[in-house]
Structure 1
Amino acid sequence: MKTTFYYITVLFITLNTAFCQNTMSLTEGQLSPKGSLSDISWIEGHWRGEAFDGITEEIWSPPLGNSMMCVFKLLVNGKVSFYETVIILEEKGTLILKLKHFDKDLKGWETKDETVDFPLVKVDGNRVFFDGLTFERVHKDEINVYVVLSSNGKEEEVTFNYKRYSGHK
């Protein structure tokens, strides 16, 4: 299962934009545009949604020290399937999102010094486009995250719809 999720979440970097209406990618040689954490600070908070026949959860910190951090987990049938640790860094006048995957026992999928990186492509009002991943603010208590996933040679844009979670059911 670890290998399947690894390929689903990592191999989407090669995009087929004809089928990807909410994501963008940098063209060869294109540099990331200007961007700051204030462009995306609205993702701060505790978010829950449903995907992959389970519950997804992301908890984003407010901007501090030129970065925001996030932990993600996927629960399937009430059990953790995998985790991600994510950061968005503001450096050299732009943004970059970096993530690492971990199995349910916190064993890393990437090597010690390896991260999966998503450079900034565009900031456009309520949307922030990273290379292969887009955040969209629907309103203050709802966001969408669009990701292009590749599996068996096919690419598909997947939508994660999150609602702000207050900790109460």
Structure 2
Amino acid sequence: MASSIRFSFVVFALLFTSAIRGETSELHTNTEYLAAGASSPIASIEEVDWISGYWQGEIWGGQFEEVWSKPVAGSMMASFKFTENDQVKFYELLTISEHQGSLLLQLKHFSEDLKGWEEKDQSMNFKLVRLTDNAAFFEGYTYKLINDNEIHVYVVIENDGKKQETKFVFKRRAQ
């Protein structure tokens, strides 16, 4: 219960702050969903290899970094960290894996002390909607390659039944 309240508070705070900065939109122009009864398209992990790398950006008055591995054994993994005022606010662990002939993006959140937000056997799952040469559209979660050094990520965040699209601008960082 406490983690649910904490999650709701964090999401509210993030949405409120980003709404003030104009980083969210009620229009979901960059995210897509599968039609009822539709299946994800056939895809392989190599088709999203362009996501791999060390990425950084700024949002909500803080900084983030996301580090994606290269595809191996049908999957890629990433860690995400959000900091504000030199303090970690939360982490995420993400994977994109080959699943039933397509791709599935999975995500778990953790507080600064590594306490999971989702139940231990639960994750947020985003099915692949479609792929282009420079974009991967998962349900409510989109990666768009702008150039070799920039990716825009659009995520639909729901709070109190209201869904808003939030844009993250990732810049490649040399490792």
Q: Which category of TM-score, normalised to the shorter sequence, fits these structures?
A: 0.7 to 0.9
Contact 2:64 2:81 in 1 (8 A): yes
Q: How does 1:107-146 map to 2 (within 5 A)?
A: 107-146=115-154
Q: Which residue of 2 aligns with 1:4?
A: 9
Q: How does 1:14-163 map to 2 (within 5 A)?
A: 19-163=27-171
Q: Which residue of 2 aligns with 1:15?
A: none
Identity %: 42
What's the offset of the Cα at 1:85? 0.3
2-structure distance, mates of 1:96, 1:8: 28
2-structure distance, mates of 1:4, 1:87: 25
Runs of 4 or more, structure 1, over 3 Å off, are: 5-9
TM-score scaled by structure 2?
Answer: 0.85
Distance 1:47 1:30, change over 3 A: same
What's the offset of the Cα at 1:8? 8.4
CA RMSD of aligned residues (A): 1.8
Distance 1:2 1:91, change over 3 A: closer
Gapped runs of 5+ residues in structure 1? 10-17
Count of residues in correspondence between the two structures: 159
2-structure distance, mates of 1:7, 1:43: 28
